[in-house]
Amino acid sequence: MTTTASPRPPAPAHVETKNYLNAETTFRSWATTTDHKRIGVLFLAGVTLSAMLGGTFALLLRLELLTPEADVMTAMTYNRLFTLHGVVMVWLFMIPAIPGAFGNFMVPLMIGARDVAFPRLNLASFYFYLSGALLVIAGAIAGGADTGWTFYPPYSAQTPTALVPVLAGVFVLGISSTMTGLNFIVTIHTLRTAGMTWWRLPLFVWAIYATSIILVLATPVLGLSLLLVAIDHAFALGVFNPAHGGDPILYQHLFWFYSHPAVYIMILPAMGVISEVVPAFSRKNVFSYRGIVIASVGIALVGFLTWGHHMFTSGMSAFDSGAFGVLSMFVAIFSAIKVFTWVGTLYRGRITLSTPLLYFFGFLFLFAFGGMTGVALASTSLDVHWHDTYFIVAHFHFIMVGGTMMGFMAGLHFWFPKMFGRLYSQRLSAVVALLAISGFILTFTPQFLLGNAGMPRRYHTYPAEYQPLNIISTIGSWAIGAGLLIGLLYLLVALWRGKPAGSNPWNLLGLEWSISSPPPPHNFEEPPKVWQEPYDYWRARND
């Protein structure tokens, strides 16, 4: 039985006393805050602006691709745009978004803590994020790089473009990532409230924990790789230069050792959001709590062993290709466990078609489909044909946009009432969700077909027979852009004019819903005690 989405109307509107937003309102109080909630809001603002920037680059790229010829920009400009699109979307949006915005805000609340383990480190992580982002933007203004977001040598050592500020920015962003991950791991180990055992942790917390392992241990390898590229660019050290006896494939090993786990940094938090949204709007316990936990940690750890599947056509040995192919297939097992668990949770639940759940349906279809193409790509013999075509572009956008972006939007709509104490227009948000999901399908499905038909990526022109599908893809991009823009607008309006949300607008279990919206500055009056399993709706049956 389904009911249309409408969070239950709040009890008589309380005049909220001090909350974390209005306790102090000076610029200084925000600039020097160590409150995890404020830092979460700062990250939310930062990543939203970054997504808009990266999205604008994407719209420009798709504009050029409306026609087979070069009519809007030169090849060099196109190369700079796709490089910046990748850099901005990956490091200024995808990697920091859910952990930085929602992880920071929600994790301490979910475990019953007053703050994260190292609040000042948390603030520092935001300033490193800001500095890194500004460096990348400075690099963009200086013309940006044209190497692709992967910075492969030997070209990266030779390119005349402004590589160093972009590399420096990403390096600094990496430091921010590592700090964030470290903070979360220590927080989850040491600040759980009484009764909050590991097996009672909300699944979003587990997701952030698994992500943090990758943040701490993978990011340094990226830092090193970028450092080596920067040194090679500036000083001709030739560590990867064949003319000096270097092997460019070794760079790829180092780069992808980070960048493959990085995609799990991007998807695990989104999966964590989904694991909160699905039981919430089925009013049912998760089908297999332990399954999700094991799958989350499994993805984080096994994901470290699969990087070579980005290198099947690079010249890497056949032995390694085979090994990485098999290992890559293993990782898919964990994702499958999660997909089946979420669907099993919905089954015979009391479904509420809220906007977060709509984003979940988008996620479910797109992530599952994208994931399956990933399993196909893990097979070396197939990848040889698809590598560097639009098939790959479609695959990772299905996961990144169809997965992470949908997860981000679901989280945003799920936790907005808690973070800001306001409700947004349910109907409008549902329409936008459908627009965004349809726009996505329109943009990226044709790209699978284009790639399979042989259209290569990273070119600003293409043979005329590919045009019809490209036109559809570009129109889809406009739909996504329009949808997300409208989304931003109604959320901004809701900040000022939305109805008060009350502490538990969705009527859910969980420590975070037991305090006011917006939460008070120190979260809990008394450290809460936990005795219930999470999502225990069947037992609670308080309807």
Partner 1 sequence: MTGRSITVRTYAWVLLALLLLTAATLLLSFVPLGMFHMPVALLIAAAKTVLILLYFMHVIEQRYTIRVVLLVAVLLLGSLIVLTVADTATRDVPFHPPAPE
Partner 2 sequence: MPTTHHVAHFEDLAKQGHAARLGMWLFLGSEALLFSGLFTLYAAYRNEYTSDFAAGAQLTNLPLGTIMTAVLLVSSFFMAFALATARQERSRVSIAALATTFLLGIVFLGLKATEYTMHFRDGIFPGAYYTGPLGERHGVVLFFTLYYIMTGLHALHVIGGLVLVGWLARRTRRGDFGEAWSTPLELGGLYWHFVDIIWLFLWPLFYLLR
Q: 250 vs 495, which CB is nearer to partner 1? A: 250
Q: Which is nearer to partner 2, 115 or 276 (CB)?
A: 115
How does DSSP assign 201-269, residue by residue? S-HHHHHHHHHHHHHHHHHHHHHHHHHHHHHHHHH---TT-GGGT--HHHHHHHHHHHHHHHHHHHHHH
319's contact among partner 2, partner 1, none, with CB below 5 to 8 A by partner kind, is partner 1
- For the chain, counts of helices (H) and of strands (E): 19, 2
Phi, psi torsion values for 230, nearest 5 degrees: -60, -45
Q: Which is nearer to partner 1, 323 or 486 (CB)?
A: 323
Under rule CB under 8 A, which residues in 54-113 are in contact with partner 2? Answer: 113
The one of partner 2, partner 1, none whose footprint includes residue 324, by CB under 5 to 8 A per kind, is partner 1
Query: For residue 22, which of 378, 355, 446, 520 has the smallest C-alpha distance?
Result: 520
Considering only residues 155 through 214, tell me which ones interact with partner 2, judged by CB under 8 A. Answer: 178, 181-183, 185-186, 189-191
Radius of gyration of the chain (CA): 23
Stretch that binds partner 1, among 109-117, 285-293, 302-310, 395-403 (CB under 8 A): 302-310
CB 445 within 8 Å of CB 394: yes
Q: Which of 121, 138, 250, 435 binds partner 1 (CB under 8 A)?
A: 250
Among 324, 420, 448, 466, binds partner 1 (CB under 8 A): 324
d(CA 2, CA 352): 6
Q: Would you say 142 and 81 are in contact if contact means Cβ atoms under 8 Å apart?
A: no
Residue 116 three-state SS: coil
Please report, as residue ranges, which positions from 214 to 253 form the binding site for partner 2 (by CB under 8 A).
Answer: 216-221, 223-225, 228, 231, 235-239, 244-247, 250, 253
Q: Indicate whether 237 belongs to the interface with partner 1 (CB under 8 A).
A: no
Q: Determine if 486 is a binding residue for partner 2 (CB under 8 A).
A: no
Q: Is the Cβ–Cβ distance between 281 and 193 less than 8 Å?
A: no
User: How far from the centroid of its chain's Cα atoms is residue 417's Cα?
Assistant: 21
**Cβ 124 to partner 1, closest distance in Å?**
21
DSSP 389: B
Interface characters, 110-139, with partner 2 (x: CB under 8 A): ---xxx-xxx--------------------
Please tell me what DSSP assigns to residue 2: E
**With CB cut-offs between 5 and 8 Å by kind, which of partner 2, partner 1, none does residue 456 bind?**
none
**CB of residue 329 to partner 2, shortest distance in Å:** 24
The number of residues that bind partner 2 (CB under 8 A) is 39
Examine residue 257 and tell whether it contacts partner 1 (CB under 8 A). yes
The tally of CA atoms less than 13 A away on the side-chain side of residue 395 is 21
Characterize the bridge pairing of strands 2-4 and 351-353. parallel
Residues that bind partner 2 (CB under 8 A): 113-115, 117-119, 178, 181-183, 185-186, 189-191, 216-221, 223-225, 228, 231, 235-239, 244-247, 250, 253-254, 257
Residues that bind partner 1 (CB under 8 A): 189, 213, 217, 221, 242-243, 245, 247, 249-250, 253-254, 257, 301, 304-305, 308, 315-320, 323-324
